[in-house]
Amino acid sequence: MKIAVAGTGYVGLVTGVCLAEHNHSVTCVDIDDNKVALMKAGISPIFEPGLEKLMANNMDRLTFTTDYKNAYKEADVIFIGVGTPEKQDGSANLSYVYGVTEQIARSIEKDCVVVVKSTVPIGTNDKIEDLIKSNLVHDVNVAVASNPEFLAQGTAVRDTLYPSRIVIGVEDESAGEILKQVYKSFDAPLMVTNRKSAEMIKYASNDFLALKISFINEIANLCEIIGANIEDVALGMGYDNRIGDRFLNAGIGYGGSCFPKDTKALHWLANFHDNELKTVKAAIDVNENQKLKLIKKSRKYFDSFNGLNIAVLGLTFKPGTDDLREAPTLVNIPIMLEDGARVKAWDPVGVENFKKRFPDEITYCNTIEDTITNADVCFIFTEWDEVKGFDISKYSKLMKKPIVIDGRNCYDLNRVKKANMIYESIGREAVNSFEVILI
């Protein structure tokens, strides 16, 4: 089938490449000439494991262009995969979606299905349909469908090739049949519903996972107070198949491009209709407070960061991506710098993006060893494999004061107890091998 994809971010590019893998002819459209040139050369403009290899395997079925008119005019199916960033009030910014919709309406020259892959508020597909009809240039029939994505950064290729489910929202039965053909070779449960239900499935799914993360973080905070171990608690909970063991890792909150904006967008939408979602609001509040958990823990050791050497391990919001959106480091590092700290940071893929925000204020290191050398305290913000596999004896050998404050519970407490260090984590007992001196 001849497919066009509007947008080459995480959603658009991964969708386009994975559809090409399933033998569709795919044209990916972007307004950025530099990005298009990179993709034509087989280089992904985003860091996503496995994506460039998949691009290389399917270049005969992939076209990258800024010429949206030619891309859209002969397509059987057009996917909209542009961003819907958060506005100041928490609502979703749909300007990119609506802009692309107008371009599509003015370009198409044959009957087609326009599929909204972007995460959009409930009812947006109806508005897109009206916008298309009011901007059509040629006498064609266009159906609008909702087909939300369920990918996670770092595992986006796998999530798209082997999805947990495929959700299709249509008001036109023939459009549903066309999308069934698009996904015919995918091995996944496929459900067809109406558009608003499909839009809600996406928001409800993401917000439920955010709730789960905030819940376990609150339980972890209580575990610290009463002396329970959150890892044992989560393990015991996870054996119950009604709960499951995923998204029960305590830490310093969720980040990225989805959970923060999707929780706020659904909460905003509910408030707009005078129907507050109290559980979603609580998840948002818990997550914002959790981001500062490590700073609060450090205050028992340091009244101030002024003049201290601080090591930061991990800059991105999670491993497997170079994305910094809503990363806890964006909240914590400015506090350290404002307080007079000297910050050294390490991340295997996120440094270049972080440099765009902090080009000169931080010393960026190529190894964990260089980062922690002569440090007074080390903060762990991202659970990269390199951090989890690090020889913890090096903390006491290289740091001025081996105080490690871990926001992702990277180390087994039994190992830590045998090391010469002070170690704080989330929802677990503190391990103090040194006399605590307030500085």
Boundary of a domain, candidates 168, 193, 218: 193
| Phi, psi of 274, rounded to the nearest 5 degrees | 55, 45
Q: Considering the domain boundaries, does residue 438 fall inside one?
A: no
CATH of the domain at 121: 3.40.50.720
Beta strands in 117-159 (DSSP E): 142-146
Structure tokens given for 9? 């971010």
In the sheet that 2-6 helps form, which strands lie side by side, from edge to edge? 62-65, 25-29, 2-6, 77-80, 112-116, 142-146, 166-169, 190-193
- In the predicted model, what is the mean pLDDT of the chain? 96
Is the pLDDT assigned to residue 436 strictly greater than 60?
no
Residue 291: CB partners within 8 Å, gap ≥ 6? 252, 253, 328, 331, 332
- Euclidean distance between CA atoms 146 and 124, whole angstroms: 9
| Chain CA centroid to CA 92, Å | 16
User: Same domain, yes or no, for 87 and 232?
Assistant: no
What's the pLDDT score for residue 195? 98
Nearest to 432 by CA among 297, 336, 331: 297
What's the pLDDT score for residue 434? 64
DSSP three-state, residue 113: strand
What's the pLDDT score for residue 334? 97
Is the pLDDT assigned to residue 255 strictly greater than 90?
yes
Confirm if 215 and 225 have CB atoms less than 8 A apart: no
| Chain CA centroid to CA 112, Å | 31
User: Same domain, yes or no, for 145 and 207?
Assistant: no
- Euclidean distance between CA atoms 104 and 114, whole angstroms: 9
Domains: count for the chain: 3
Mean pLDDT of all residues in 249-253: 97
Q: Considering the domain boundaries, does residue 424 fall inside one?
A: yes
Is the pLDDT assigned to residue 438 strictly greater than 90?
no
User: Same domain, yes or no, for 8 and 128?
Assistant: yes
Boundary of a domain, candidates 260, 290, 320: 290
* Residue 21 pLDDT class (50, 70, 90 cuts): very high
Mean pLDDT of all residues in 332-351: 97
User: Same domain, yes or no, for 242 and 165?
Assistant: no
What's the pLDDT score for residue 76? 98
Q: Considering the domain boundaries, does residue 383 fall inside one?
A: yes
Tens of pLDDT, residue by residue over 60-84, are 999 999 999 999 999 999 999 999 9
User: Same domain, yes or no, for 180 and 32?
Assistant: yes
Residue 227: CB partners within 8 Å, gap ≥ 6? 429
What's the pLDDT score for residue 432? 86
Mean pLDDT of all residues in 82-94: 91
Mean pLDDT of all residues in 330-354: 97
User: Same domain, yes or no, for 106 and 157?
Assistant: yes
Tens of pLDDT, residue by residue over 28-40, are 999 999 999 999 9
CATH of the domain at 239: 1.10.1040.10
Which one-letter DSSP state was computed for residue 381? -
Boundary of a domain, candidates 193, 210, 227: 193
Q: Are strands 431-432 and 422-424 parallel, antiparallel or unpaired?
A: antiparallel
| Phi, psi of 61, rounded to the nearest 5 degrees | -110, 5
Positions annotated as catalytic residues are 258
Q: How far are the Cα atoms of 169, 208, 379 from residue 198, in angstroms, in the given order? A: 5, 15, 41
Is the pLDDT assigned to residue 437 strictly greater than 50?
no
Mean pLDDT of all residues in 361-367: 98
What's the pLDDT score for residue 282? 97
User: Same domain, yes or no, for 220 and 93?
Assistant: no
Q: What angle do CA 260, 262, 268 make, to 5 degrees?
A: 105
User: Same domain, yes or no, for 183 and 297?
Assistant: no
pTM: 0.93
Q: Which domain, by its residues, includes 312? A: 293-432
* Residue 374 pLDDT class (50, 70, 90 cuts): very high
Q: Considering the domain boundaries, does residue 437 fall inside one?
A: no
Amino acid code (one letter) for 417: K
Neighbours of 245 (CB within 10 A): 13
* Residue 257 pLDDT class (50, 70, 90 cuts): confident
In the sheet that 342-346 helps form, which strands lie side by side, from edge to edge? 363-364, 342-346, 309-313, 377-380, 403-406, 422-424, 431-432
Bridge-partner residues for 166, per DSSP? 190
What's the pLDDT score for residue 117? 97
- Euclidean distance between CA atoms 77 and 136, whole angstroms: 16
Cα Rg for the chain, rounded, in angstroms? 24
What's the pLDDT score for residue 435? 52
Sign of CA dihedral 428, 433, 437, 439: negative
Is the pLDDT assigned to residue 267 strictly greater than 80?
yes
Mean pLDDT of all residues in 157-172: 97
Mean pLDDT of all residues in 281-297: 97
Burial category of 430 from C-beta neighbours within 10 Å (exposed 0-12, middle 13-18, buried 19 and up) = middle
Sign of CA dihedral 264, 270, 272, 275: negative
